[in-house]
């Protein structure tokens, strides 16, 4: 559905996109991740033909994308990170207006507007102005405006920023429902657990390039971390910490505020080896956790950066 090949974009001396290649298949919920400044927003703006690029090709639905490719743009819905609605218009009027940018038939537009209101759970708020809505409801209105015309491709940029957990769950469930109804979705987020929950495939960008791609499980198999052991309420000497680091299959160990964190490669009995050593040293401790790698572990190991930096 989307093919980006050797995309290059410069801002003066800054190389924002460095021969970026991306392929997004029909029916995917495609996660696009990267630290700030990695090129995600630039790539999306180029994809939408809102930004002129220096080199490369972008193909949507089998056709090359240009600024005047209006037939292609009618098949795209955009849910921006910053809420983009009219404060002077009611919930219904906002959705009707944005739907009307794509659908000219009034009867059909009314049907789609009502469907979007039901989909977003805004039935009881249809006559309210946006400024009267809670943060979660405002985000749901933002989504309804972007998807009311039933686009084949939906781009969602941080749709759950600063919303409560209940609204976040409602939004994520709605995204999966849109996908079940036939929409392909490009999803960006700083919340790794969301991406892990809903995305069928993920690309991690950095320095304007795709540096890793695959399903969540495929990405996890790319890194060294296979198990993270956390032990609280423990008092360790520097010598004991150094000994933990020398245990088989341990490649990283840190100790701070009476908490020991040990990262291990794939092997059986990692936890038992660590606990046996502590028992031999007669070191007491509190709670113990053993965790499989998360998408956040993948991101940190591959990019060396916190996603929220």
HEC per residue, 206-238: ECCEEEEEECHHHHHCCCCCCEEEEEECCCCCH
According to DSSP, the β-strands at 184-188 and 29-33 are: parallel
Structure tokens at 170: 């409602």
The answer to whether the CB of 22 falls within 8 A of the CB of 212 is: no
Q: Is 98 helix (H, G, I), strand (E, B) or coil?
A: helix
Structure tokens at 126: 């249809």
* DSSP H or E stretch at residue 251: strand 250-256
Residues 6+ apart with CB under 8 A from 303: 34, 35, 204, 206, 211
The answer to whether the CB of 132 falls within 8 A of the CB of 160 is: no
Helices and strands (DSSP H and E) totals, the chain: 11, 14
Structure tokens at 50: 């809102």
Render each residue's pLDDT in the chain as its tens digit; 309 residues: 999 999 999 999 999 999 999 999 999 999 999 998 899 999 999 999 999 999 999 999 999 999 999 999 999 999 998 999 999 999 999 999 999 999 999 999 999 999 999 999 999 999 999 999 999 999 999 999 999 999 999 999 999 888 888 888 989 999 999 999 999 999 999 889 999 999 999 999 999 999 999 999 999 999 999 999 999 999 999 999 999 999 999 999 999 999 999 999 999 999 999 999 999 999 999 999 999 999 999 999 999 876 543
Closest-CA residue to 81 (of 3, 169, 142) = 142
């Amino acid at each position: 559905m989307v093919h980006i090949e050797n995309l290059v974009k410069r801002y003066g001396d800054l190389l924002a996109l460095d021969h970026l290649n991306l392929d997004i298949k029909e029916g995917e919920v495609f996660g696009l991740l990267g630290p700030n400044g990695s090129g995600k927003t630039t790539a999306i703006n180029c994809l939408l033909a809102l930004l002129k690029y220096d080199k490369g090709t972008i193909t949507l639905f089998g056709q090359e994308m240009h600024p005047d490719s209006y037939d292609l743009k009618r098949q795209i819905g955009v849910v921006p990170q910053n809420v983009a609605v009219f404060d002077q218009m009611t919930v219904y009027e906002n959705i009707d207006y944005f739907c009307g940018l794509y659908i000219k038939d009034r009867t059909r537009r009314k049907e789609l507007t009502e469907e979007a209101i039901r989909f977003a759970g805004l039935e009881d708020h249809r006559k309210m102005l946006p400024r009267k809505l809670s943060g979660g409801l405002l985000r749901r209105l933002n989504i309804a405006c972007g998807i009311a015309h039933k686009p084949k491709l939906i781009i969602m940029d941080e749709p759950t920023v600063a919303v409560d957990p209940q609204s976040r769950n409602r939004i994520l469930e709605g995204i999966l429902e849109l996908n079940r109804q036939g929409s392909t979705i490009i999803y960006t987020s700083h919340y790794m657990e969301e991406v892990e929950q809903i995305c069928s495939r993920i690309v991690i960008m950095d320095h304007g390039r795709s540096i890793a791609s695959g399903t969540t499980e495929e990405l996890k198999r790319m890194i060294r971390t296979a198990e993270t052991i956390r032990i609280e309420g423990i008092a360790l000497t520097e010598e004991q910490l150094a000994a933990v680091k020398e245990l088989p299959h341990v490649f990283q160990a840190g100790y701070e505020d009476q908490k020991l964190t040990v990262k291990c490669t794939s092997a059986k009995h990692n936890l038992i080896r660590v606990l046996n050593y502590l028992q031999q040293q007669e070191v007491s401790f509190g709670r113990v956790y053993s965790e499989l790698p998360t998408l956040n572990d993948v991101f940190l190991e591959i990019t060396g950066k916190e996603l929220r930096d």
